[in-house]
């Protein structure tokens, strides 16, 4: 088994360009083969007879046998992988074996393949080329390994396999190969870095009238969300609905919490975005885990990969793989149309229209806009308890905001000043390259 480490080899993968170069090489080789065939025909033109045609006939037979050999190999080459979906925590080493198998009796003189792991951004990743030969009824195994630095869902495997004929002139390309998924989970540190203030959550309590049905006390129902206990399903109502319905108990309604995850990023250097993404997700889940430990009813809101608003209730590590697979990538604000209906302000607006909206709101975001500010104020006026966690790029602090221009700084400070005037608490959190989230400054009224 060959071990191939792809650590620290970050190169851009450009399939179209590489395919074009490979195509040019094939054309050059084909042209060379035709020239060689033309040269072999010279003796036949001048000498004639069997010996005059022998070079051309030999070359034609060689090409024919080589082509037949290549077609048989093409049917006999297969791929295997030991896993289809690998799950690891951020910062851990992800490693899996992949195999190229030759099921035919014929030897493969030369084949080349690309072993790769996808990157955080589309079109980027880590790749390494490998050239080898295979005997009949044999295989070659590789271990693809990489330290997964950022949360997300990645693809890895073998692709762009080329099988060459006996002459090394022609090849057949198998583009698909074999792939496996790598789901990188957040490294949630709980209350060690982000502390949930339970006193603040109980300042404004929703007192609801108790209803009794099927021997259980509850104040209402809502649609089933990821992480809900099956013991709390309202089975009779679910039977008449298109989805499961979950009961809302009176005790949980008194200090319920909605954590809103805004994955629209501020404009800035692209290399900072993965660190900010990690901090956003881990801050939100740290708050969720603390709420779960204190038996506070909670929900996580975000716009998923399908561009729809999701409301989920993750119950720790067992639910994180499914959660990460539906979380979208970080979206830049350079495109205004990409923001429409997807940023924190839009989620706040949709959440307040729900019949079972939460009393307490915590918004995790990396940009503070005018609309977002007024949505938080609107929630405050509705006797709800909003709070803001403001995520900064790596190496920045709340006092300096080095990543912002002067106009953006003034606008942000103006919005935060307005939040202070309305008694809305906010926190600075700086994303760090050391894979930690560190509270820097806390403002409260």
Query: Which sequence spans correspond to the domains of the chain?
Result: 2-185, 190-206+254-443, 207-251
Tell me what pLDDT residue 9 has.
34
Residues in the chain: 445
Sheet of 437-443, strands arranged across: 309-312, 298-303, 257-261, 360-365, 385-392, 425-431, 437-443
On whether the CB atoms of residues 263 and 366 are closer than 8 A, the answer is no
Nearest partner of 400 among 363, 441, 344, 366, judged by Cα: 441
Instruction: Please report the beta strands in 44-177, taking only residues with DSSP state E, as ranges in sequence order.
Output: 77-81, 85-89, 93-102, 108-118, 124-134, 138-147, 152-164, 171-174
DSSP 214: T
Q: Is the dihedral of CA 71, 75, 80, 85 positive or negative?
A: positive
Tell me what pLDDT residue 396 has.
64
Alpha-carbon span 243 to 63, nearest angstrom: 63
Nearest partner of 371 among 341, 401, 399, judged by Cα: 341
Tell me what pLDDT residue 338 has.
44
Tell me what pLDDT residue 431 has.
78
Nearest partner of 131 among 153, 148, 115, judged by Cα: 115
> In the chain, what is the straight-line distance between the N-terminal and C-terminal CA atoms, in Å?
62
Alpha-carbon span 138 to 250, nearest angstrom: 65
Pick the CATH number of 190-206+254-443 from 3.10.110.10, 1.10.490.10, 3.40.50.410, 3.40.50.720: 3.40.50.410
DSSP of 222-283: EE--TT--GGGB-HHHHHTSSS-EEEE-HHHHTT-EEEEE--EEPSS-GGGHHHHHHHHHHH
On whether the CB atoms of residues 391 and 427 are closer than 8 A, the answer is no
Tell me what pLDDT residue 350 has.
86
Alpha-carbon span 22 to 32, nearest angstrom: 15
DSSP 318: G
Alpha-carbon span 279 to 273, nearest angstrom: 10
On whether the CB atoms of residues 142 and 115 are closer than 8 A, the answer is yes
pLDDT in tens, the chain (445 residues): 444 444 333 333 333 333 333 334 556 666 666 676 666 667 666 666 666 666 777 777 777 888 888 888 988 999 999 888 999 999 999 999 999 999 999 999 889 999 999 888 877 888 888 898 899 899 999 999 999 999 999 999 998 899 988 877 778 888 778 899 999 999 887 655 567 776 666 654 443 334 334 445 566 676 766 556 666 787 777 777 777 777 765 444 446 899 999 988 655 567 788 888 999 999 999 999 998 888 888 999 998 888 888 999 998 889 999 999 999 876 654 444 444 557 888 899 888 877 677 889 999 998 888 899 999 999 888 888 999 999 888 766 544 444 444 444 555 678 888 888 888 888 888 776 444 433 333 333 2
Strands 425-431 and 331-332: unpaired
pTM of the model: 0.73
Q: Is the dihedral of CA 360, 365, 371, 374 positive or negative?
A: positive
Nearest partner of 443 among 383, 422, 432, judged by Cα: 422
Q: Is the dihedral of CA 279, 280, 284, 289 positive or negative?
A: negative
Q: How many helices (H) and strands (E) does the chain have?
A: 12, 24
Burial class (CB in 10 A: 0-12, 13-18, 19+), 209: exposed
- CA 90 to centroid of chain Cα atoms: 12
- Domain topology for 2-185: Immunoglobulin-like (2.60.40)
Alpha-carbon span 12 to 124, nearest angstrom: 5
Alpha-carbon span 258 to 288, nearest angstrom: 9
Tell me what pLDDT residue 18 has.
34
Alpha-carbon span 247 to 221, nearest angstrom: 4
């Amino acid at each position: 088994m060959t071990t191939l480490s792809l650590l620290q080899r970050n190169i851009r993968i450009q399939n179209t360009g590489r395919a074009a170069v490979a195509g040019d090489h094939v054309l050059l080789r084909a042209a060379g083969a035709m020239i060689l065939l033309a040269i072999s025909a010279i003796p036949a033109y001048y000498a004639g007879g069997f010996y005059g045609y022998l070079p051309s006939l030999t070359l034609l037979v060689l090409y024919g046998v080589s082509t037949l050999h290549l077609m048989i190999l093409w049917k006999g080459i297969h791929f295997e992988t030991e896993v289809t979906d690998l799950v690891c925590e951020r910062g851990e080493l992800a490693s899996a074996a992949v195999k190229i198998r030759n099921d035919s009796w014929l030897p493969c003189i030369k084949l080349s393949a690309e072993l790769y792991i996808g990157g955080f951004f589309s079109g980027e990743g880590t790749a390494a080329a490998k050239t080898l030969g295979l005997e009949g009824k044999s295989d070659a195994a590789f271990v693809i390994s990489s330290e997964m630095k950022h949360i997300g869902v990645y693809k890895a495997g073998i692709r762009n396999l080329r099988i060459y004929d006996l002459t090394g002139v022609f090849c057949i390309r198998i583009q698909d190969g074999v792939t496996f998924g790598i789901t990188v989970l957040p490294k949630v540190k709980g209350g060690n870095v982000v502390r949930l203030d339970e006193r603040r959550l109980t300042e404004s309590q929703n007192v609801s009238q108790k209803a009794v049905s099927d021997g259980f006390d509850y104040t209402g129902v809502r649609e089933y969300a990821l992480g809900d206990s099956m013991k709390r399903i309202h089975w009779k109502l679910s039977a008449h609905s298109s989805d499961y319905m979950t009961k809302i108990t009176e005790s949980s309604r008194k200090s319920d919490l909605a954590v809103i995850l805004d994955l629209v990023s501020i404009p800035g250097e692209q290399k900072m975005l993965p660190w900010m993404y990690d901090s956003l997700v881990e801050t939100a889940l740290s708050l969720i885990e603390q709420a779960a430990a204190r038996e506070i009813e909670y929900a996580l809101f975000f716009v998923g990969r399908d561009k729809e608003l999701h409301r989920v209730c993750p119950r720790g590590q067992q639910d994180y793989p499914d959660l990460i697979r539906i979380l979208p990538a970080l979206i830049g604000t350079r495109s205004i149309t990409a923001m429409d209906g997807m940023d924190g302000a839009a989620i706040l607006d949709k959440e307040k229209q729900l019949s079972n909206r939460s009393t307490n709101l915590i918004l995790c975001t990396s940009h503070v806009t005018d609309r977002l500010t007024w949505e938080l104020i609107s929630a405050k006026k509705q006797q709800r308890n909003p709070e803001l966690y403001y995520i900064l790029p790596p190496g920045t602090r709340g006092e300096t905001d080095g990543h912002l221009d002067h106009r953006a700084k003034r606008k942000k400070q103006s919005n935060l000043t307005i939040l202070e005037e309305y008694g809305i608490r906010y926190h600075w959190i700086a994303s760090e390259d050391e894979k930690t989230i560190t509270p820097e400054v806390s403002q409260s009224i």
